[in-house]
Amino acid sequence: MNRKTILLIDDEQSFLEPLADALQFEGHRILKARTGHEALEILKQERVDLVTIDIMLDPGEDLQDEVDSHSTGLFLCEEITHKYPKIDAFCISVVSEMRIIRKIESLGIRFLRKGETPLRTVLDMIRSRLTGIAYSTERDKNPRLK
């Protein structure tokens, strides 16, 4: 698999570290954003292939008036879907509110529960998504699954 650029959006170092270690081991270039604002700045400047998004996240100073920290990730999911439709995205969060999860999934973004999903599963899903083979939530867009 070619080297891809993956942006991890999360304010918890404890989550970022093991995921970054594993993805680097698979040969990918890793970028990290700790706030919503940082994530949007990186997306403006870098060519990113895939993002992982946490929901409860510091929006950052420039976004704090328009976004609540409990739903920064939801805001990012909407921004990425609309402005960067070619970027694949996963949402990885402990949020259990079904309203938020349904909204994320309605955007075509796969939701994975932090703490319940083994790292191996996340890596398999990311690999599959980057190679376009499986685990897609949008089967119609995947020619191999037609």
Partner 1 sequence: MSEDELSTEELRKRLGDLEQENKVLRERIAQVDRDRAEYLQNVSHQLVAPLNAIKWHIENLTGARIGVDRAKKVLRSVYSQATLVVHLAKNFNLMSNLEADHALKKLKEPLQEIELCRLLINLADDFQPLAWDRDIKILVHKDHFDNAPPVLVMKPLISQVFSNIIENAVKYSDQETEIVIEGKYVKSTDSVYVSVQNHGISLDPDHAKRVFDRGFRSPEAERKYPAGTGFGLYIARRIVEIHEGTIAASTRDGWTVFEVTLSVKGLKGKARLRE
Interface residues toward partner 1, by CB under 8 A: 11-15, 17-19, 21-22, 25, 56-59, 64, 69-70, 72, 94-97, 114-115, 118-120
* Choice between 107 and 123, CB closer to partner 1: 123
- Return the closest-CA partner of residue 39 out of 3, 2, 18, 67: 67
* Choice between 11 and 49, CB closer to partner 1: 11
Min dist. Cβ of residue 17 to partner 1 (A): 6
Min dist. Cβ of residue 98 to partner 1 (A): 12
Q: How many residues does the chain have?
A: 146
User: Which residues partner with 110 through β-bridges?
Assistant: 90
- 97 in Cβ contact with 75 (< 8 Å): no
Min dist. Cβ of residue 62 to partner 1 (A): 12
59 — phi, psi (to 5°)? -70, -20
